[in-house]
Amino acid sequence: MKSFPLKIVTPDGPQFEGEATELIVRTISGDMGIMAGHINCVTSLGMGRAVVVTEEGKREAACIGGILSVLNGEVNLVPTTFEWADQIDLRRAEAAEQRARKLLEDKRLSAVELRLADARLKRALVRKSVASSMLSH
């Protein structure tokens, strides 16, 4: 299968650099798959699962926010947070989910606090689903 150069870089350091045969990410308008020879393309990332397929196999990660750019065959993924499934602490994600749910029940929250808590809940849910799906494999 044809491969393409892929780089994944986050504020916490580079996460991946090398050849990949397929990349699936959740963008703001839904899941998007990239294979070698993709047209030049720029999109904004949503919150969700990212799948990187290389010669060695398939890896999953929780990928939240940021930019995906395909330019002249090179694929650059620049997410705000990116965690490989095997690095996610499932118990921490569950605790974060509980905390966020409790916060959201509070009716006195301001609009900003509400948005933050909502974002936290979504992040926790993404992490949880990615981590637990890996366990079931």
Partner 1 sequence: MAGVSTKEIKTRIRSMESTKQITKAMEMVAASKLRHAQAQIAYSRPYFRMIYGVIQDIAETNTKQHLPYLEPTKNAKHRTAYVVIAGDRGLAGGYNSNVLKLCYGEMQGRDCAVLPIGKKALDFFTARGVERMSESYAEAEDVSVSDCFTMARMLCKAFRAGEYDEVRIGYSNFVSVLSQTPATMKLLPLEPESRDGDPKPADILYEPTSTEVFENIIPEYIGGVIYGALCESRASEQAARRSAMDTATQNAEEMIADLSLKYNQARQAAITQEITEIVAGT
Q: Which of 3, 21, 22, 32 binds partner 1 (CB under 8 A)?
A: 32
Point out which span in 21-29, 52-60, 87-95, 97-105 binds partner 1 (CB under 8 A). Answer: 21-29
Q: What burial class does residue 65 get, using C-beta atoms within 10 Å of its C-beta: 0-12 exposed, 13-18 middle, 19+ buried?
A: middle
Q: How many CA atoms lie within 13 A of 77 on its CB side?
A: 34
d(CA 129, CA 101): 16
The footprint of partner 1 on residues 53-112 (CB under 8 A) is 65-67, 69, 71-72, 76, 78, 80
* Residue 7 lies near partner 1 (rule: CB under 8 A): yes
CB nearer to partner 1: give 11 or 58.
11
Phi, psi of 3 (to 5 degrees): -115, 170
CA 90 to chain centroid: 16
Q: Which of 27, 54, 129, 132 binds partner 1 (CB under 8 A)?
A: 27
Q: Report the interface residues with partner 1, using CB under 8 A.
A: 7, 9-14, 27-29, 32, 39-44, 65-67, 69, 71-72, 76, 78, 80
